[in-house]
């Protein structure tokens, strides 16, 4: 079970960094609401990823409901990142 927490946490943090990297130019230029929503999704993922790594380090048990929520957030964020990369270039948000 511990490896699941570590891998989930690392995937969440990686997707968060990708979202931050993509939202940063739009935030610096014009700061639209869409860019802020993408950045905040990255913040949520990073915080939950840190929580997953903390669970892995301390060896705590975590409910499957929370783990399922984390996996759902990973899937949504990955879908959102792919959608953004296909349809919207960063500076024109």
Question: What is the band of 13 on the pLDDT scale with cuts at 50, 70, 90?
Answer: very high
User: What average pLDDT score do residues 58-62 get?
Assistant: 81
Q: Looking at residue 51, what is its pLDDT?
A: 85
Full-model pTM: 0.75
What's the CA gap between 40 and 47, in Å, rounded? 11
64 near 1, Cβ under 8 Å? Answer: no
């Amino acid at each position: 079970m511990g490896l699941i927490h570590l891998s989930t946490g690392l995937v969440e943090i990686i997707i968060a960094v990708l979202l931050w990297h993509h939202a940063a130019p739009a935030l610096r230029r014009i700061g639209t609401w869409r860019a802020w929503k993408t950045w905040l999704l990255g913040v949520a993922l990073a915080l939950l990823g840190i929580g997953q790594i903390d669970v892995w380090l301390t060896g705590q048990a975590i409910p499957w409901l929370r783990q399922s929520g984390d996996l759902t957030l990973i899937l949504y964020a990955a879908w959102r990142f792919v959608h953004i990369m296909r349809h919207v270039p960063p500076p024109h948000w």
